[in-house]
Structures are given as structure tokens and as C-alpha cells.
């Protein structure tokens, strides 16, 4: 019985060595870390001398640089709000998992690097005033007299908002609530 484990161990070691050559690493006996293997074409059994120089294939460097799309802070705030769609409403909620209207806008803009006040009324005095015709994604849109409700403009005449108990964070058309102004924090 003692012979079988030795044979298995020897077979495993052989497979590990063979795999190391194919995968590009060898693990010599007693070594703790892998080192680069000898290239297959320069392997002693390949017929190619080890010191033979092979032509280098240089890759053409692309002169075009990738344009990194820099998202605006408003777009980042909107993206955060979109990830909260379906979360429940909770009065005073600032997430995660439950929100009120101003808690949602505050955390959305925080994710974009802007600190907003906690309440919708305080947020209605923050940032630059924006005309309804000039709304951009991420703008804060206020509703009702006293600006007691706020949502994040999502484009195409809609906002994302946390409205009331029993209703999850959702999209709604601006025209369904009494518009009271807009601000651009970023």
C-alpha cells in the first residue's frame, strides 16, 4: 500500500512540472516561488540552440489615445440615484435601502463629490439657479410651495425621487407635480 501513494505523488510532480513548462513557469524542487520558464522554442529538446537570437516582433504603438469619457458630477449623482430605484421610502431616510426625497439627493450628490444640506428647503438655496428649459441630468428639481419635495433630473422630462410611504424610489414625469424651481449643485 505504501507504494501507491509514492507513485501518485511522483505522477502529480511530473504533471506539475509538465504543466509549469506549458504555462510558462517552473517550480524546481525546493523553490518557494515560481520563476519564468525557458521559452519552448529554446528548450533543450526543441532542436533550437538556447543562445539563438529570435527576431523580435514589435507591436505598432497606436498614436490614437483613448478618449476617457469624463462624466459630469450631475451624471455621477444621477447614476447613484438610478442604483437606488426600487428602494423603499422612509421619512428621514438617508440610505442605504430606504430614503426620503432629500436624503436621496444628498447621498447622490455626495457620491459625485458635493456635500448638500439635509432638507429639500435648504437644498433649494444651494448651487446655481436653473431655468426649467435648461435642465441637465443630475439637477435638483423642486416641487410644491415651500419647495418641500425634491428629485434628481433624469432627462426627458422625468425625475427620480422618493415620494412617500408605500412607494419605492421611482421615476416620475415633472408635469405630474407642481414645479417650484431647479438648482445645479455641481
Is 43 tagged catalytic?
no
Is 170 in contact with 96 (CB distance < 8 Å)?
no
Q: Contact at 8 Å (CB) between 109 and 185?
A: yes
116 alpha-carbon distance from chain centroid: 22
150: exposed, middle or buried (Cβ count in 10 Å: 0-12, 13-18, 19+):
buried
Which residue among the candidates 78, 81, 101, 152 is catalytic per the annotation?
A: 101
Residue 68 per-residue DSSP state: P
Residue 52 dihedral angles phi and psi, to the nearest 5°: -65, 135
* Distance between first and last Cα of the chain: 75
CA–CA separation, 104 and 134 (whole Å): 22
Q: Which candidate in 137, 147, 149, 184 is catalytic?
A: 149
Active site residue 72: no
DSSP 54: -
Residue 104 near residue 84, CB atoms below 8 Å? yes
Spot the catalytic one: 76, 158, 161, 183: 161
Task: Give catalytic residue positions.
Answer: 101, 149, 161
Amino acid at each position: 500500500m505504501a507504494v501507491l501513494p509514492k507513485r501518485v505523488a511522483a505522477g502529480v510532480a511530473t504533471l506539475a512540472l509538465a504543466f509549469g513548462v506549458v504555462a510558462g513557469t517552473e517550480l524546481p524542487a525546493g523553490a518557494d516561488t515560481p520563476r519564468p520558464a525557458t521559452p519552448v522554442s529554446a528548450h533543450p529538446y526543441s532542436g533550437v540552440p538556447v543562445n539563438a537570437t529570435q527576431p523580435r516582433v514589435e507591436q505598432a504603438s497606436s498614436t490614437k489615445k483613448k478618449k476617457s469619457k469624463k462624466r459630469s458630477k450631475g451624471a455621477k449623482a444621477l447614476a447613484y440615484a438610478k442604483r437606488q430605484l426600487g428602494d423603499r421610502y422612509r421619512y428621514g431616510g438617508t440610505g442605504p435601502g430606504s430614503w426620503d426625497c432629500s436624503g436621496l439627493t444628498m447621498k447622490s450628490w455626495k457620491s459625485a463629490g458635493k456635500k448638500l444640506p439635509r432638507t429639500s428647503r435648504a437644498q433649494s438655496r444651494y448651487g446655481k439657479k436653473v431655468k426649467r428649459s435648461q435642465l441637465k441630468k443630475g439637477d435638483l428639481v423642486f416641487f410644491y410651495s415651500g419647495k418641500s419635495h425634491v428629485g434628481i433630473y433624469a432627462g426627458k422630462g422625468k425625475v427620480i425621487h422618493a415620494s412617500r410611504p408605500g412607494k419605492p424610489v421611482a421615476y416620475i414625469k415633472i408635469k405630474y407635480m407642481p414645479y417650484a424651481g431647479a438648482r445645479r449643485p455641481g
